[in-house]
Each structure stands twice: as C-alpha cells, then as structure tokens.
Chain A
Amino acid sequence: MQGQRGAMEPARLFLGILCASAALAASSLHQRPPQPEFLLQEPELELGESPSGSLWPLPRSLRILPRQLQLAPARFQLVHGPGSTAGPGCGLLQDAFRRYYEYIFGYSKWQNQGQRPLPAGTELLQLQVIIGSKDSECDNYPNITSNEACEYLIWYELFSLILLGLETFSQLVYEDDYGTFLINESEITDYPRFAHRGILLDTSRHFLPLKSILTNLDAMAFNKFNVLHWHVVDDHSFPYQSVTFPELSGKGSYSYDHVYTPTDVHLVIDYARLRGIRVIPEFDSPGHTQSWGKGQKDLLTPCFNGEHWSGSYGPVNPILNTTYHFMTDLFKEISGVFPDAYIHLGGDEVDFTCWKSNPDVTEFMKQQGFGIDYAKLESYYIQKILDIVSSANKGYIVWQEVFDKGVKIKPDTIVEVWISSLYTTELSRVTGAGFTTILAAPWYLDYISYGQDWKKYYSIEPLNFPGCEKQKKLVIGGEACLWGEFVDATNLTPRLWPRASAVGERLWSSENVTNIQDAYNRLVKHRCRMLRRGIAAEPLFVGYCDPEYRGR
C-alpha cells in the first residue's frame, strides 16, 4: 500500500507489507530490556505518551517522521493503485475501503467544515492499495499455511494482511485541536509474529446473539486477531442447527430462539472473511456432549448403577457402529458449511466413570484387549473420528489430552495446550514429539480478578519453554479463551476487551515488545478508539475517553 500526496512532489507514506527477509531493521525506539515478571502489587502506571502514539499492536518496525500531511475527508480516497491485480470488482477490498474511511473520518463533524485550500504538497490525497499477487482471488477465505513465512505472507494471507494494513493506517491518522486530520510521514514494516491469533467464544453455556458475535469480529479486526475459534456446542446446549440432524438443535438448544441457523452461520463466516478472520468451529467429543443426546438417540453411553441403567448418560458411546455413521454424516455437513481447512475436534476432559459402569462397554473392552485402560477406548474413538474428518479433507485441532493420552494422531495435527499448570513443560513435550501447537493456557480470560490483569496476559512469552529452535517454530500461535459459564451478551464485550488486546499484541508484535509502560500508554488510547468505533471496551484504570462509550 502506498500513500500518494496531492500535487507537486510525492510524499512518502509507505505502509509496507514485505517478506520477513526484506523487513527493515527494527527501529531502536522500542527496544528496552524485557521487564521482570509483573506483580499486581506494583504501583499503578502513570499515563503518558508513547512515541508510537496509539498504535496497537505495535508493528514490526516503525519510523514516524516529523513531517505532517493533512487529510481532507471530502477529497481523501482509498483506491486501487496502478499495477494492482485487484480492482473495483474485489468486494472484499471495496468493503474494507468503505469501512476504514468511516473509522478514519466518521466520528467527527467534518461535514460542517468549509473548504479550505491547502498549500501544495501538504495534503495526502490517496491511499493506494497495490496487490502484487497474480492470484488475487478476492473471494477466497483466509487460511493458514506452512511455516514458510514469506510465502505465506504473499500468497495466502495477502488479503488479510491488506486489511490489517488498513487498520494500521487508520490508527496513524489523528485529529489536531482544530479538527484537522493529520498523518505523519511514516515507514512501517509489518507482519505477524504468529500465524494463528485466535479468540475462543463459547455459545453453548450461554447463547450469544448474532450481533454479539459480529461486534466481536469487528473488535478482533481492530486488534489483528485472525481466528475465531467458535466453541459452538457443549454439554449445556446445542445451538448449531444441523441440516442433516435438525433434532440436535431442535431438542438440544435452550429454546427455538437460541439457535444458529445455516444463514446465521454463513453470515458469521462471511463477516469474518471480510475482516481477514478465519472461523474454526469446535464440535467437542466424546465428552462435553450432554446436549447432543437429547436429539440423537443412542449416541451417548447409558450409565449404569449396578445392573440397571441409572437414568443418566455419559460421553459418546464409542462401541456402536451407529455412532460412527452419525459422526460421518455430521462432519460431512460441517466440513461443507465451514470453509476453513481446520476443524477443532475437542477431545478434552473425558470422564471414564460412565464407560466403566456400562456392561456393554466392559464387554467391548475385553474383546478389543484393552484390559481396564479406558484411555485406549478413548484413543479408539478419537482415531475413528480423525479418520472421518481426514476423509473430508480437513485438518484438525485437538485439546492437549488427546496427545497426553497417546492417541495416535496424524503428523499435521495441531495440539492446543490449555491446562495452566506446567504448560511450558507441555509445550516442550508436544513440540518435542513434532506436533504444531497453539497456546491457550495462560490466556483464559473468563478467569477474572480485581485489578489490571491485562499485564499478566501481556507478560507471557509463548516461546519461553525448554526446547530447540525447531521446536519453537512449531508454536504457530495462541488463543484468548472466553468460556461462557459467567458470560453472555450482557457482559461479553467489556470482559473481553481490552484484556484480549494484550494477547493480540503478544501474538503479533516482536518478542522484544515488552515495555509495559509503553503498552499502557498505547492501550489506553486504543481502548478509547474502540469506544469511538462502538466497542464497549472496559477501562484499564482511572481516567476518561472523549467521547465516552455511546452505544446502547
């Protein structure tokens, strides 16, 4: 993307999106030694100015020059640059242009300003977006790829990165005291440190209305998150409306109002796509499936009390062929509905008590020669599920237990580490075994506490675990998880933002971006910007925004 100044000589406003190899040397502005482990008892930070203004997350390299250019809302345009392989037919970019014009100018009273001629050479007239890729398929879904950063930047995430570049550009524009929009000449090189930057939302423990999900996709884009991990169903309710098995939500949802229809799901996926965000659905099994049982007879294991059925059900019944027929059909549908290359298959917290109580399961264990090792039964189940999903040409992500229990998984399986105790050891083990991994353990944002806990999330270094370089490369990112026990549409947004922003910067910016004071100065401003854009992000500490949140 290039900015072009009006008239006379062109000014340099270069928002570069480059390969890792071509990145400018990081400027010295922000390289301070890493801070020691942060303690909450420390005195509160004093608000100050960051040399990087309000940028969040901080770009890879940044040089803000003193020269200011003005932007006139009536004249400034976001356009396709010369030689770009994308044009006005690219809906994704056209939408993004309109959206970011609104973010940049939409909140002031500029409509009432008179026309004021500007001295030549001081006005920025256009931001030209140039797509260099031959393969400029605007309607593709964002996707992840191999760990070759350069190729991935150019070929696969190019469109997502353009969107992120627009976000950075919009964060550079500011208003002076007279309401003039200004941008400094800047040189920026930017690309993410980690490819997988996710937010987990849980729509089973509480149903989240569509609008709530869409609002948070907006906020994710503002923070350069690129994966919505949609934990769509669980024990409590089954809001996903399946075309193949409509009874699942028909009987398993909280009510008829509490379902996501195929149209809803498609809307979420498309809304995310336009913001460079992938949607990875999670259909967790064999545990966490109580709500599935209501609409699918014989899917769950009947638990026994002595010789009789106790009246309750346990995990999915792994010994019946019908189970696997059902899963084949269900995952065939899911694979079609969700375009992402990955599906999250869960696999966490399987309680063996019910399986142990059931005489048919006991008999099956004997036949299979599993002895009394129920982890083998779980492996048996999981492997069949993995085969089903593989045959639908999807990759899969599983929670760490699947790896811990020694289930045989394909080499390209992504293991998500979530258990907070000893998670660094787990990262060593998982990557030591050659699996790619995603870190969620230190970022369970549903665990709230008093005070500025964003600092705790910010101070996490994902690669700080024993392992060689090759192992570190297997960490492809992380996720901030907002589980739904105590969260619904009433409190979701202020609980998630700006706390998740701390995770966003950790996953995007350089490893050495650890100055908590500088982060605080920028994050306070970033939070006010989110308020202006209609996101009810809660305050970090005492202070104010002008204007305050006006939604509702």
Chain B
Amino acid sequence: GPGPTACLSVGSASAFSRTAPPYQLLHSAPRPGRFRFGYARSSAVGPGCAVLDQAFARYWRLLRYAGPRAPGEGPEAAGAPWIYLTVCLLPAGLETFSQLIWRDEDGTFYLNKTDIVDFPRFAHRGLLLDTSRHYLPLRAILETLDVMAYNKFNVFHWHIVDDPSFPYESAAFPELSRKGAYNPATHVYTLNDVKLVIEYARLRGIRVISEFDTPGHTLSWGPGAPGLLTPCYAGSIPSGAYGPVNPILNTTYQFMTELFREVSTVFPDFYLHLGGDEVDFTCWRSNPKIQAFMQWMGFGQDYAKLESFYIQRLLNIVSSYGKGYVVWQEVFDNGVKVKPDTIIHVWRENAGPYQQEVARVTKAGYRALLSAPWYLNRISYGQDWQAAYQVEPLEFEGSPEQKALVIGGEACMWGEFVDVTNLTPRLWPRAGAIAERLWSNKTVRDLQDAYIRLADFRCTLLRRGIPAQPLFTGYCDAEYSGF
C-alpha cells in the first residue's frame, strides 16, 4: 500500500512547517558518550521493538562519521537537553537525522535547529541485483542493503536466478542449485543466507521481493529438473539444446506448484516477481509436440497465446498462496489476463518511448513500476547520474487517476559485467540520483544543487566505509581506505 506519512522534527516543541528550515544552531549534540537515542514517554512503542532498537544502535555508530559543515552563527551556550524526534517512518527518519549532524574542526558534533516534514513521493523505491550472471557473496548484498537504507530505498528486488546459474538452494528441489549453481558448495544461497538477507533488510525498512523468472531465462533450471525445459528440435530429431519451460506438460505445473509454495513461504513479502520477459519462441516452434498442442488448443501460429497459457496457470498457482505479483511488461503487452492488483514492471528502452508504455499500462488500470530509464549496468563516460536524475516518472499522457497508479521505480544493476569487484562503485552514488527522484518532491530538479549535495553525500558514504565512486574531479576529506 502507499507509504505512511513520515515526519521528522528536531528540536523541542517545533511545529511542522513546510517553510524553509531556520538555520540556527541549537546546541552541541550529540556528544559521543553522552548522547543517546531513546523512546519518548508518549511513544507507542518502546524497548523491545527490534527495528527501532537496532536502528538506534546502528545510527549511534554512524553519527561518529558525521562530516564537516559550514558552521552557522557559532555555538550557543544554552540549549534544550533533549531532542524530540517524531518519526512515523523508520528508519528513514534516523537517516535524515544522521545527515543533519556535522562536526567542526575541533571534532565537536553539532546539530542545527531544524524543522523537517518528510515523506516519500513514491511508495516503491527499488533496487535490482542480479545474482545469477555473477554470484554476489552475502557481504556484497548486505552492504548494498546498508547503502539502500542510506538512500531511502525500500525494496530489494532480488533477481536471484536466471539462465547462467541457479544459486538459490531450494529445500523442495535441492538438485536445482546442486546442478545449476556455478559451484554448489560456494556459489549458493542457503536458506539461512536468504533469511539473513530478509531480516537484515527488514531492520533497515527494506522489503525483499524475489524474482523467479519464467518461462524464459531458465536454462540453469534444466540440469536439476529433468523434463522441465522444452527440448529443441533440429528437423525431426532433438538438437540437444533446451528452450524455455515446457508449457504443455502437467509435470511442469506440479513442479511450479511445489517450488512457489516454498518460495511463498521463504519470502514473506506480499509480492513475488514472476518475470515473464524475453521469451524466445524459436525452440517452442521447433518442437513437434508443442506444434501438436498448439493445434489442439486452437492457438494457430500465435506463440504469444502459448506463453499466455503458461503465465495464466502460473499466476493462478501463485494467487492460490495468497500472494500478489509483479511481472515484466511483456506479460501485459502479450495480453495475458492478470489480476487487477498485478504490478507491471516497465523496462524496455527500445520498444518506443517508455512513457507510452506507462500510459498504456495505467490506462488499463494496472499499477506500473518504472525501470526503463534506470538500467545502471549500462555505463558510459561522464556524469550519467544526471540523465537518471532528470527522469520524471509521471511525465506521460494520462489522467490523474492514471498517474496515481505509478507506484514507483527501480534502479537495475544487471550482472553481465558486474560482480563483487565492481558492484559498489558502479552502483553508488549513481543510484542515489534515482533514490532522490523517487523520494523527493517533483519540483526538486536543480542539477547544480543536486550535484553539490550528492558529491557531499558520496563523501559521507566513504566515511561510512562504502567505496562510492566520484562524480567528477575533487576529493573527500577521508578518502576510501578500506581495501
């Protein structure tokens, strides 16, 4: 659902105000050693709330990495002994608070008296990582979750399996990773790993949406699930190669029923991403049994109908587990009947302007998720964060009702050329541009201002131990040293 309103007020008895924050020095807090986060008496939750307890501990540690700021009018002797932080959306509010703290040259921490009203513009602010084309060690995923929280992303879209490898260790079908992972001993995610990722994300206010993409992008599933993929034919004999999932066998649907029963349980989020993109019909066409099935079903030569047939049955399976689903745009384009609460993920860059696709999806009454302009794996020389920043997700022809159906977007880091060696600097701070587009007001578009803040934020990331790459020439006080 839409995100709850978050509000952050720093300073005693300050009223929420949308006016520019008065830039006054309140007092020198927090001092390491004395400053504490705590629950106010009026707080609805108290100690024992894991998300808050953990967030307090985490941000207390992060405060020591506060960076320099131009001092205001000089320290004021008297100050309020307490800071009240009214936060309805955690831990984003604590992140904002931590970004407000700065240090002077003597190492004293300061906080300006500040009124802030803050809530996200879009409810779905996602980041896609691809752990199939290259395996990402757990620590790379956890580090990414940390930085996502710093950027107020709230959805980790885990594109966990694909053609090249199947690192997800399934309890129901252990052969999938045993035969489909790059190395079944080292390049897998155990159930414990997955649970750790989900819990680590939860404590940072991040949902984990897993993607098990079918019927295409499944080559790595084949070795561990005999009979699942379509045998391709060369003339009248099997060529030895395999194509997409075989949609004409009952065993296929029995398999999917079992697999998604497990996946639905392991991943607690309401939504699953079911993929459905880029299905190549060549293999299906070559297979005589599929040809016969097409005829029998009256599909003629329209293989999109066969794809729809498969997807339809898959959606029914997933629905039966009480889950909602996200699918890539092809599922909508091919006219598959989907439930009204389906989220359509718009990704194609070259199939006409993506804005038209967003308009079509929302006109049909579906909710839309935008990724087309945000494929961060596509790199180029120069400051490409600016193009990502200048995207306006609601800039398409449509009614206000249609605009309301755009629930957000996702930055995608596909894995063809990315692994643990280059993931973090390639992702940050470029994804930060998208984070601000999805969080901040529509009117926040000033590139120069964004550059200054983003360059500064990048130095904050370095201080927190994250190797975020530079935007342009310059330096940070503390360069990255965590080799």
A residues lining the B interface (CB < 8 Å): 205-207, 209, 211-212, 215, 236-237, 254-255, 257-258, 446-452, 484-491, 493-495, 531, 536-544, 546-549, 551-552
Q: Are A491 and B164 in contact (CB under 8 A)?
A: no
Q: Are B379 and A449 in contact (CB under 8 A)?
A: yes
Binds A, one of B288-296, B447-455, B465-473: B465-473
**Cross-interface CB contact of B481 among A215, A489, A539, cutoff 8 Å:** A489
27 contacts between A and B (CB under 8 A): A237-B475, A448-B379, A448-B380, A486-B381, A486-B382, A487-B469, A488-B469, A490-B468, A490-B469, A490-B480, A491-B425, A491-B467, A493-B421, A494-B421, A494-B422, A538-B418, A538-B419, A541-B416, A541-B417, A542-B415, A543-B182, A544-B182, A546-B183, A546-B187, A548-B137, A548-B186, A552-B482
Q: In the assembled complex, how far is the CB of residue B209 from the closest CB belonging to chain A, in whole angstroms?
A: 23
Q: In the assembled complex, how far is the CB of residue B323 from the closest CB belonging to chain A, in whole angstroms?
A: 30
Q: Are B165 and A544 in contact (CB under 8 A)?
A: yes
Q: Are B470 and A206 in contact (CB under 8 A)?
A: yes
Q: Is B378 an interface residue (CB 8 A)?
A: yes
Q: In the assembled complex, how far is the CB of residue A543 from the closest CB belonging to chain B, in whole angstroms?
A: 7
- Please encode chain B, from 164 to 193, with 1 for each CB lying within 8 Å of some chain A CB and 0 for all others: 110000000000000000110011000000
Q: Are B470 and A488 in contact (CB under 8 A)?
A: yes
Q: Is B348 an interface residue (CB 8 A)?
A: no
* A552 to B415 CA separation, bound complex (whole angstroms): 20
* A108 to B471 CA separation, bound complex (whole angstroms): 39
Q: Which of B165, B382, B415, B474: most chain A CB closer than 10 A? A: B474
Q: Are B467 and A490 in contact (CB under 8 A)?
A: yes
Q: Are A450 and B479 in contact (CB under 8 A)?
A: no
Q: A490-B469, A539-B419 are in contact. Are A544 and B135 (CB under 8 A)?
A: yes
| B130-166 at interface with A (beta carbon < 8 Å) | 133-135, 137, 164-165
Contacts of B480 in A (CB 8 A): 209, 488-490
Contacts of B404 in A (CB 8 A): none
Q: Which 7 A-B pairs have the closest CB atoms?
A: A490-B467, A494-B422, A491-B425, A254-B475, A544-B182, A536-B421, A491-B469
Contacts of A258 in B (CB 8 A): 475, 479
Q: A448-B380, A486-B472, A542-B164 are in contact. Are A549 and B479 (CB under 8 A)?
A: no
Contacts of B473 in A (CB 8 A): 205-206, 236, 484-485
Q: In the assembled complex, how far is the CB of residue A304 from the closest CB belonging to chain B, in whole angstroms?
A: 27
Given contacts A209-B480, A257-B479, A543-B134, 18 further A-B contacts (CB under 8 A): A205-B473, A211-B481, A446-B381, A447-B381, A448-B381, A450-B380, A485-B473, A486-B382, A486-B469, A491-B422, A494-B421, A538-B418, A542-B133, A542-B164, A546-B187, A548-B186, A549-B419, A552-B467
Q: In the assembled complex, how far is the CB of residue A67 from the closest CB belonging to chain B, in whole angstroms?
A: 30
Q: A207-B475, A539-B134 are in contact. Are A449 and B470 (CB under 8 A)?
A: no
- Please encode chain B, from 414 to 445, with 1 for each CB lying within 8 Å of some chain A CB and 0 for all others: 01111111101110000000000000000000
Q: A487-B470, A490-B468, A536-B421 are in contact. Are A544 and B187 (CB under 8 A)?
A: yes
Q: Which of A209, A447, A538: most chain B CB closer than 10 A? A: A538
* A388 to B382 CA separation, bound complex (whole angstroms): 38
* A540 to B382 CA separation, bound complex (whole angstroms): 21
Q: In the assembled complex, how far is the CB of residue A245 from the closest CB belonging to chain B, in whole angstroms?
A: 21
Q: Are A549 and B421 in contact (CB under 8 A)?
A: yes
* A541 to B182 CA separation, bound complex (whole angstroms): 14
Contacts of B183 in A (CB 8 A): 544, 546
Contacts of B182 in A (CB 8 A): 543-544, 546
Contacts of B462 in A (CB 8 A): 490
* A493 to B469 CA separation, bound complex (whole angstroms): 12
Q: Are A255 and B477 in contact (CB under 8 A)?
A: yes
Q: A449-B381, A488-B480, A489-B479 are in contact. Are A539 and B468 (CB under 8 A)?
A: no
Q: Are A546 and B186 in contact (CB under 8 A)?
A: yes
Q: In the assembled complex, how far is the CB of residue B35 from the closest CB belonging to chain A, in whole angstroms?
A: 27
Contacts of B467 in A (CB 8 A): 489-491, 552
Q: Are B420 and A548 in contact (CB under 8 A)?
A: yes
* A547 to B477 CA separation, bound complex (whole angstroms): 34
* A551 to B425 CA separation, bound complex (whole angstroms): 15
* A439 to B164 CA separation, bound complex (whole angstroms): 39
Closest B residue to A205 by CB, please name it.
B473
Closest B residue to A450 by CB, please name it.
B378
Q: In the assembled complex, how far is the CB of residue B483 from the closest CB belonging to chain A, in whole angstroms?
A: 6
Closest A residue to B130 by CB, please name it.
A542
Q: In the assembled complex, how far is the CB of residue B278 from the closest CB belonging to chain A, in whole angstroms?
A: 15
| B370-399 at interface with A (beta carbon < 8 Å) | 377-383
Contacts of A237 in B (CB 8 A): 475
Contacts of B415 in A (CB 8 A): 542
Q: In the assembled complex, how far is the CB of residue A44 from the closest CB belonging to chain B, in whole angstroms?
A: 9
* A207 to B462 CA separation, bound complex (whole angstroms): 14
Q: Are B482 and A485 in contact (CB under 8 A)?
A: no
* A113 to B269 CA separation, bound complex (whole angstroms): 47
* A206 to B479 CA separation, bound complex (whole angstroms): 10
* A549 to B380 CA separation, bound complex (whole angstroms): 25
Q: In the assembled complex, how far is the CB of residue B430 from the closest CB belonging to chain A, in whole angstroms?
A: 11
Contacts of B479 in A (CB 8 A): 207, 209, 257-258, 488-489
Contacts of B475 in A (CB 8 A): 206-207, 237, 254-255, 258
Contacts of A450 in B (CB 8 A): 377-380, 417
Q: Are A215 and B468 in contact (CB under 8 A)?
A: no
* A542 to B479 CA separation, bound complex (whole angstroms): 31
Contacts of B380 in A (CB 8 A): 448-450
* A540 to B419 CA separation, bound complex (whole angstroms): 10
Closest A residue to B417 by CB, please name it.
A539
Q: In the assembled complex, how far is the CB of residue B159 from the closest CB belonging to chain A, in whole angstroms?
A: 13
* A484 to B470 CA separation, bound complex (whole angstroms): 10
Q: A237-B475, A448-B381, A543-B134 are in contact. Are A548 and B419 (CB under 8 A)?
A: yes
**Cross-interface CB contact of B425 among A205, A446, A494, A549, cutoff 8 Å:** A494
Contacts of B187 in A (CB 8 A): 544, 546, 548
**Cross-interface CB contact of B421 among A212, A451, A537, A547, cutoff 8 Å:** A537
Q: A209-B479, A255-B477, A546-B183 are in contact. Are A539 and B421 (CB under 8 A)?
A: yes
Q: In the assembled complex, how far is the CB of residue B184 from the closest CB belonging to chain A, in whole angstroms?
A: 11
Q: In the assembled complex, how far is the CB of residue A447 from the closest CB belonging to chain B, in whole angstroms?
A: 5
* A465 to B134 CA separation, bound complex (whole angstroms): 40
* A237 to B379 CA separation, bound complex (whole angstroms): 27
Contacts of A447 in B (CB 8 A): 381
Contacts of A215 in B (CB 8 A): 483
Contacts of B421 in A (CB 8 A): 493-494, 531, 536-539, 549
Contacts of A487 in B (CB 8 A): 469-470
| B331-358 at interface with A (beta carbon < 8 Å) | none
Q: A211-B481, A552-B482 are in contact. Are A206 and B426 (CB under 8 A)?
A: no
* A446 to B135 CA separation, bound complex (whole angstroms): 26
Closest B residue to A486 by CB, please name it.
B470
* A212 to B482 CA separation, bound complex (whole angstroms): 10
Q: Which of A205, A448, A547, A548: most chain B CB closer than 10 A? A: A548
- Please encode chain B, from 197 to 211, with 1 for each CB lying within 8 Å of some chain A CB and 0 for all others: 000000000000000
* A543 to B380 CA separation, bound complex (whole angstroms): 23
Q: Are A542 and B416 in contact (CB under 8 A)?
A: yes
Q: Are B425 and A547 in contact (CB under 8 A)?
A: no
* A541 to B415 CA separation, bound complex (whole angstroms): 9
Q: In the assembled complex, how far is the CB of residue A183 from the closest CB belonging to chain B, in whole angstroms?
A: 25
* A451 to B414 CA separation, bound complex (whole angstroms): 12
Q: In the assembled complex, how far is the CB of residue B467 from the closest CB belonging to chain A, in whole angstroms?
A: 4
Q: In the assembled complex, how far is the CB of residue A154 from the closest CB belonging to chain B, in whole angstroms?
A: 38
Closest A residue to B426 by CB, please name it.
A491
Contacts of A489 in B (CB 8 A): 467, 479-481, 483
Q: Which of B137, B186, B416, B424: most chain A CB closer than 10 A? A: B416
Q: Are A549 and B420 in contact (CB under 8 A)?
A: yes
Contacts of B469 in A (CB 8 A): 486-488, 490-491
Closest B residue to A537 by CB, please name it.
B421
* A450 to B164 CA separation, bound complex (whole angstroms): 19
Contacts of B470 in A (CB 8 A): 206, 486-488, 490-491
* A494 to B415 CA separation, bound complex (whole angstroms): 15
Contacts of B422 in A (CB 8 A): 491, 494-495, 536, 538-539
